[in-house]
Structures are given as C-alpha cells and as structure tokens.
Amino acid sequence: MPRRIVILGGGVGGTILANVLARRLTADEAEVTLIDSSGAHVYMPAWLYIPFSDQPVSQRHFERPVRSLLNHRVKLIVGEVTRIDPRQRELTVRHGVNRDDIRGTGGATNATYSYDDLVVATGARLAPQDLTGMCESAGDYHEFYSQRGAFALRQALQSFTGGRIVVAVGGIPYLCPPAPLEFTFLLDEWLRQRRLRSKTEVEYLFPLPRVFPIESVAEVAAPLLEQRGVKSRLFFNADELDGERHVLRSLEGEDASYDLLVLIPPHRGAQVIEASELGDAQGWLATDRHTLAVKGYEHLYALGDATDLPVSKSGSAAHFEAKALAARLVALIRGEEPDPAHASYDGEVMCFLETGEGRATQLVFDYEHPPRPPHPSRYYHMEKQLFNRAYWRIVPQGLV
C-alpha cells in the first residue's frame, strides 16, 4: 500500500515538496496530497512593488491556481484544515469540495482524512489584534503584506502631497525581513521622482538595536538610510496605535506621529496550529533545525514560515527546506538512511535586498555563515527582476 503523504499549504514550500515527491516516488511508493485553503498560489514578493506602480497590475503577476503548478500525480483538496490530531494521524477539513479526494467524504462540509506522514507548510498570518488599537484603526495605517493592503497603499501614495511618513515593524518575527527596508528605499526613490522628497520626512522604526536583525546586513543598510535622509529610530517596540491622534506609541514610552503610517502588523502561525495546540504562544511549531521534524511527534514535519527555526520567514528558506525534506522522506520511505548532504537542512537562505535607484544587494547565508552583502549594484537589481519573472516557471515545480 502506498505511503499517504499529506502536505498542508500550497505556498512555496508545500508546492515544491509535493512536486519533488511526485517526481521521485512511484505511485506504488507514495500517494501525495496537498490541501490548501484557497486553491491559489501567491507570489507575495510582488506586493512590494504594487504601491509604487501607476500601471494596471494583473492578478496573474502574483497569483496562479495551485492546480496549474502541481505535478499531475499530486492530489489537490481545496479546504480549510480546522484540526490536526497527530496522535491519531487525522485531519479535519472544512469545505473539502475538491473532487481530487483522498479517503474521506468528498464534498462534505466537514471531512476527516488520515495520513501516514504530515507536512505542515501553512505559513504565517497577519495578527493586527496583537497590537493595541490596530484593529480599531484599520483605516489609519497601511501595509503591503497583503494584496488588499498593497493596493490601498498605492492609492494612499498617489494622493500624498507631502508630510511625515513613518515605516514601522509591529513585531518580530515577521515575513520577509528585508521587505520593510526595501520599501523604505523604494519609497525614497518614488518621492524623489515625483519631487516630493523635499516636502516629506521619512522615519524608519525598528524593534531591535539595529535596522535589520542580522548585524552584517544592518551595517550595509544603515549608512544607505542616512545617505537618503531617512531617520532611523531603534528599540522602538510598537505597543499602541492611536489612529485618532495619528500617533504610534512604543513599549519604551516614545511616540511617533505621522501623516501616513506604513505599519507591518504582528504575525502569528496559522489558526489551525493554535486550534490544535501544537505551537508556541505565537503559533509557531517547534521544529528540528536539520530534520524539520516537529518536536515531540512522529511522522509530523514543518516547513517555511510555520516553523520556529532561527532563519528568516521567507520563500527562500521554505524553498531549501522543501528540497531537504523531500530527500529525507524519499529515503525513509525506501528504507534507506537519509544522506546528510542532501536530506538535512543547514539553514540556507538566498534573497535580494532592493536599495532603490535601480540597485540591490544579495543575502546568502546559513546557520553557520552570516551574509556578507556585496555593494549594491544594478547587477543584483536586474537579477532580482529576472527571478521575479522566472519564478512561475521554475520555482514551484522544484526545478531549481
């Protein structure tokens, strides 16, 4: 009987893992199923550019049906997983209406599915409720960490004529650590192009004692912010948003007033992790940093943003984790010893950091080696743009 491998989440990690397993394992060895809540695969890095675009943006630029990206052998269920029972190896799914079903009551409002191995790649969610006043002030701040937020921010910028813009990170950890810095650099460039920079004060607020979590990156970014006339306020742990007075307050007792606020909301793990009582206080899964096994449970693994691993919550991390976990699962299913060179995740991450003015730098690192960002250049900016365009053809399929 084939091994029943179920993957939760059709993002970068889940899609790559499903495709690699489907290619490497025969139908007799494994049945690979992916369950996704929406059926849409979103390339979230594209949202960074939407606020600065005055051209029509097609949904196809950043979203595709998950089914179109999956190997034909991968079974897809579109539905919301509401409960994980790792002891019984069962899942409860609401609205599992996809005909591509697995051993459950297809089309039922609620269905129960069994698995032999489960991989949780459910990502992260925005949790504005974790910052006092953020939900009540929903119309007074902006973010680019959602499709709706990115387009609303574009509209706000298009009507902006000058004043004080504050860019703040509302909590750690958060998705794509370079993104708030990238946004700030691109914002500076955008304001200059529209002759609004001299009329605008830009301030960057960050919870840590430097402008980026990794010191070697902060050493490159901080001077660039200073050169662009962007003020940096560190150790600013956002605690309360007063939308009526246009003030963001910190735990340290500081106030930051604004005319336009770009506030990255706090993040949490997926709701199902909290509902199943599997994660920590923020809903992150305690995950072995090399095997990607969820600690304390058998046949349960985690990928990407869902984990508590000491690496960035990014598509890049999920990408490399998926490759390593695929190699491990293939070996285990075949009764072989996993090869540490391929079946162990070493913390590898590779991403770009846009610095504006048509330049970018590159961050390459792992658990043992911090990044050594090269001087920002047009080369890395073009490399990132090419990657953005090539993403749909090579990354979800696990071809790189």
Cβ(111)–Cβ(105) below 8 Å: yes
The token duo for 6 is 């179920």
Q: Are residues 115 and 31 in the same domain?
A: yes
- Residue 197 pLDDT exceeds 90: yes
Quick check: is 17 in a domain?
yes
Nearest residue to 158 via CA among 133, 194, 134: 194
Nearest residue to 187 via CA among 279, 113, 260: 260
Task: Supply the pLDDT for residue 56.
Answer: 85
Q: Give the C-alpha separation, 359 to 355, whole Å.
A: 6
Q: Give the C-alpha separation, 132 to 272, whole Å.
A: 23
The number of residues making up the chain comes to 400
Number of domains in the chain: 2
Our CA angle for 125, 127, 132, nearest 5°, is 170
Quick check: is 356 in a domain?
no
Q: Are residues 138 and 185 in the same domain?
A: yes
Write the CATH number for 289.
3.50.50.60
Q: Are residues 135 and 257 in the same domain?
A: yes
DSSP assignment string, 268-321: EE-HHHHHTT-S-TTS-B-B-TTT-BBTT-SSEEE-GGGB--SS-BSHHHHHHH
Global pTM value = 0.94
Q: Give the C-alpha separation, 79 to 86, whole Å.
A: 19
Quick check: is 357 in a domain?
no
Q: Are residues 74 and 155 in the same domain?
A: no
Owning domain of residue 50: 3-123+270-343
Quick check: is 38 in a domain?
yes
Task: Supply the pLDDT for residue 102.
Answer: 44
Containing H/E element for 331? helix 315-333
Q: Are residues 118 and 131 in the same domain?
A: no
Containing H/E element for 226? helix 215-227
Quick check: is 362 in a domain?
no
Q: Are residues 142 and 226 in the same domain?
A: yes
Q: Measured between alpha carbons, how far is residue 238 from residues 23, 254, 263 in Å? A: 46, 9, 9
Cβ(232)–Cβ(221) below 8 Å: no
Q: Are residues 245 and 301 in the same domain?
A: no
Q: Are residues 187 and 278 in the same domain?
A: no
Nearest residue to 27 via CA among 66, 75, 67: 75
For residues 325-335, give the mean pLDDT: 98
Cβ(233)–Cβ(212) below 8 Å: no
pLDDT digits (tens, 9 = 90+) for 86-119: 999 999 999 744 444 444 444 558 899 999 999 9
Cβ(75)–Cβ(33) below 8 Å: yes
For residues 6-24, give the mean pLDDT: 98
pLDDT digits (tens, 9 = 90+) for 204-245: 999 999 999 999 999 999 999 999 999 999 999 999 999 999
CA dihedral 389, 392, 395, 398 (to 10 degrees): -150
Quick check: is 365 in a domain?
no
Task: Supply the pLDDT for residue 141.
Answer: 97
Q: Are residues 303 and 233 in the same domain?
A: no
Looking at every residue in the chain, the average pLDDT score rounds to: 95
The token duo for 258 is 């604004």
Cβ(347)–Cβ(289) below 8 Å: yes
Q: Are residues 135 and 113 in the same domain?
A: no
Task: Supply the pLDDT for residue 105.
Answer: 46
Task: Supply the pLDDT for residue 109.
Answer: 82
How many other CB atoms are found less than 10 A from the CB of residue 378?
Answer: 11
Q: Are residues 284 and 217 in the same domain?
A: no
For residues 45-50, give the mean pLDDT: 96
pLDDT digits (tens, 9 = 90+) for 356-369: 999 999 999 999 99
Sorted by sequence, the CB contacts under 8 Å of residue 350 that are 6+ apart come out as: 316, 320, 362, 363, 364
Task: Supply the pLDDT for residue 108.
Answer: 55
The SS3 of residue 122 is coil
Q: Give the C-alpha separation, 294 to 8, whole Å.
A: 14
Nearest residue to 186 via CA among 235, 236, 224, 238: 224
Final residue in a domain of this structure, among 251, 266, 281: 266
Classify the phi-psi angles of 296: left when phi > 0, otherwise alpha if psi is within -120 to 50, otherwise beta. Answer: left
